[in-house]
Amino acid sequence: MNTTTTITEDRILRCPAVQEMTGLSRSTIYCLELKNAFPARVKLGERACGWRKSSIQIWIESREQAKSGA
């Protein structure tokens, strides 16, 4: 995989996109993040943050593996 593909695929997602991917509410995402049970946010500006898409995908996969007992 080349660097351009990696950069394109690993973009920053804002909260509505993360909610759509995970099915979690905003408050649940923030609560899990405080407990270190969800990927940490990336500060984008003074009043903006997001999450790396790759981190969210890894988190989802880890939840699926925990569910299946793997």
At 1-34, the pLDDT tens digits run 555 555 557 899 999 999 999 999 999 999 999 9
Q: Is 23 within a domain? A: yes
Enclosing domain of residue 60: 11-68
Q: Is 6 within a domain? A: no
Segment among 12-21, 34-43, 58-67 with least mean pLDDT: 58-67
Q: Is 40 within a domain? A: yes
Overall number of domains in the chain: 1
Q: Is 1 within a domain? A: no
- The more confidently predicted of residues 35 and 65 is 35
Q: Is 29 within a domain? A: yes
pLDDT at 9: 74
Sign for the CA dihedral angle at 64, 16, 47, 3 comes to positive
Q: Is 5 within a domain? A: no
The reported pTM is: 0.80
Nearest-angstrom CA–CA distance, 38 and 49: 15
